[in-house]
Amino acid sequence: MPIHQWPEADRPREKLLRQGADALSDSELLAIFLRTGVPGRSALDLARDLLREHGSLRALLDLPPERFCAGQGLGLAKYVQLQAALEIGRRHLRERLDRGDALANPDDTRRYLSARMRDYPVEVFACLLLDNRHRVLHYEELFRGTLDRAQVHPREVVRLALDRHAAAVILAHNHPSGVAEPSAADRAITERLREALGLVNIRLLDHIVIGDGETVSFAERGLL
């Protein structure tokens, strides 16, 4: 039966309007994106099939274009729409930071950094530079490494912070393994960077380690 013939309470679009997007399952959200199904299969049936085939919503969204377009009910137009929607989400998070809300709402900072960095296949080290009112001045990815290591040079971090007239810094790097637990090396470089930035009166507010669906804050762990 087509979705438009279902009871209104069961339709994903109406459920979103009534309860909000957070109330929907992955398959319901995907069904809204797909809009229509295929002969004999509703959009929700098709969404469930796709999630079963690929294992998760993220796995589906991360497919390269040729594999994504090969899926039933998908194609190049859907791939383009999806990539545009994902980029809108990233830019929305960035705009929230640019308004100066980053430290008033730490979850926004984590979501933004995770959206930017979690999918990199190698370790990437980045800096979020803030003014003396903790408003975002600049985001920059400074160092890239191998699968499990990025060589970080404190002098480059200090130089960037001075060039941008930053009063405070939030560090971030991803773990391609997906495990966000800080390593001994992470702790050592964080301490070196805290000391180097302190010499020029720039505060290190946090170092966020990004895994697959999880983040670890050095500040919250009491490691700064």
The domain boundary, picked from 74, 108, 123, lies at 74
- Check residue 160 and give its pLDDT: 95
Among 212, 121, 218, residue whose Cα is nearest residue 169: 218
Q: Are residues 52 and 125 in the same domain?
A: no
pLDDT in tens, 141-198: 999 886 566 688 999 999 999 999 999 999 999 998 888 999 999 999 999 999 999 9
Q: Are residues 61 and 160 in the same domain?
A: no
Q: Are residues 70 and 97 in the same domain?
A: no
Q: Are residues 105 and 172 in the same domain?
A: yes
Residue type, 81: Q
Q: Of 210 and 75, which is predicted with more confidence?
A: 210
Separation between Cα atoms, residue 149 and residue 143, nearest integer Å: 10
Query: Residue 213 to residues 80, 147, 175: CA-CA distances in angstroms?
Result: 24, 18, 11
Reported pTM: 0.66
Judged by average pLDDT, the poorest of 29-38, 47-56, 99-108 is: 99-108
The domain boundary, picked from 74, 106, 131, lies at 74
Kind of pairing between the strands at 168-174 and 203-210: parallel
pLDDT in tens, 99-122: 555 556 677 788 888 888 887 888
Structural domain boundaries enclosing 35: 3-74
Q: In what order do the strands lie in the sheet with 215-217?
A: 136-144, 124-130, 168-174, 203-210, 215-217
